[in-house]
Amino acid sequence: MSDPETRKEAGPPPLLAVAGLDKSYPNGAERLTILREATFAVGTSESLAVVGPSGSGKSTLLNLLGLLDVPDRGSIRVEGREITLLSGDAAAAYRRDKTGFVFQDHHLLPQCTALENVLLPLLSDRSKTTAQDRDRARGLLDRVGIPEKENSFPDRLSGGERQRVAIARALIRDPLLLLCDEPTGNLDQTAGRRVVDLFLELVRERRMALVMVTHNLELAALLDRSLGLDDGRLRPVQTGGATTE
C-alpha cells in the first residue's frame, strides 16, 4: 500500500474532475464539434487556465461546468458527485450554491450600488437580505480591496473596481468552483494582473477550484496549469515562464 498510485486512488476525489467530455452543436445537416473528449481535473485551492483562439469553445466549456449547457457525452464530477445527471431544481441549486461566475463584462445592475449588486445572488431563493448578509457583503468588498465603494453605482467605478464588485458577488454564496470567462478582457495589463493575483489568493483562502478562460498567455502563466483548446482538443500548453502539464 505504499506505492504512490495506490495512495492517490485512496484519497478524496479532486474537487473538479472532467472526463471524456464531448460537445457539438447542430450546423445544418452536420454537427459542429466543439469539444472532443475533454479530460482534466482541478483540485482544492488549484487554478487552471484555458487558452485558445476566439470560437475555439472556451465559453462552451465553462457553460458545461456551470450546467448552463449539457454535454453530448462524458462526465463532470464535483467532489465526486456526477453533476451532468442533475436537472431541474437540483441543477439550479448546483449552479446557485456551488458555482460563481465572473465574465468579461461585469454584468452589474446599473441601478444598484456596489453593495446591492454583491447581495443580488442571495435574492434568488428569498425575498429579503438581512443585516448579517449586508455585513458579509461589506466584508467581501473589503476583501476585494474596495471597502469605500459600497454605496457607489457601477458608472462611478473604474473597470477594475467594477470587476472587483463582480468577484465579490460571485463569492457571496461561497462557491466551490470559480468559473471566469475572460475576466480581464476589458482591463489593461496592470489591472488584469491585480485581478488575477486576487483570484489566486481567494482560491487558496476559500479552498475553491478556479477555471479561468483567457487569451492572455502572460496572465495564464500565473495560474497553476494551462490547457490550450484547439480543434476541440485540450492540450497542455507552455505559458511564458511557467511550464505546465
Ligand X SMILES: Nc1ncnc2c1ncn2[C@@H]1O[C@H](COP(=O)(O)OP(=O)(O)O)[C@@H](O)[C@H]1O
Q: Which of residues 44 and 104 has its CB atom nearest to ligand X in the complex?
A: 104
CA distance 198 to 231: 31
Q: Which of 58, 98, 164, 169 binds ligand X (CB under 6 A)?
A: 58
CA distance 24 to 26: 7
Q: Which of 47, 59, 129, 163 binds Mg ion (CB under 5 A)?
A: 59
- Residue 184 lies near Mg ion (rule: CB under 5 A): no
We find the least distance from the C-beta atom of residue 74 to ligand X, in angstroms, to be 16
We find the least distance from the C-beta atom of residue 204 to Mg ion, in angstroms, to be 26
Listed residue (117, 161, 119, 143) closest to 198, CA to CA: 143
3-state helix, strand, coil in the chain (%, to 5): 35, 25, 35
The grid coordinates listed for 152 are: 457607489
We find the least distance from the C-beta atom of residue 62 to ligand X, in angstroms, to be 8
Q: Which of 4, 11, 12, 55 binds ligand X (CB under 6 A)?
A: 55
Listed residue (69, 87, 85) closest to 77, CA to CA: 85
Question: Is 113 in a helix, a strand, or coil?
Answer: coil
- Residue 214 lies near Mg ion (rule: CB under 5 A): no
- Residue 56 lies near ligand X (rule: CB under 6 A): yes
Decide if 140 contacts 171 (C-beta within 8 A).
Answer: yes
Among Mg ion, ligand X, none, what binds residue 190 when CB lies within 5 to 8 Å by partner kind?
none
Q: Could you say which residues in the range 18-37 bind ligand X, by CB under 6 A? A: 25, 34
* Interacting residues with ligand X (CB under 6 A): 25, 34, 52, 54-60
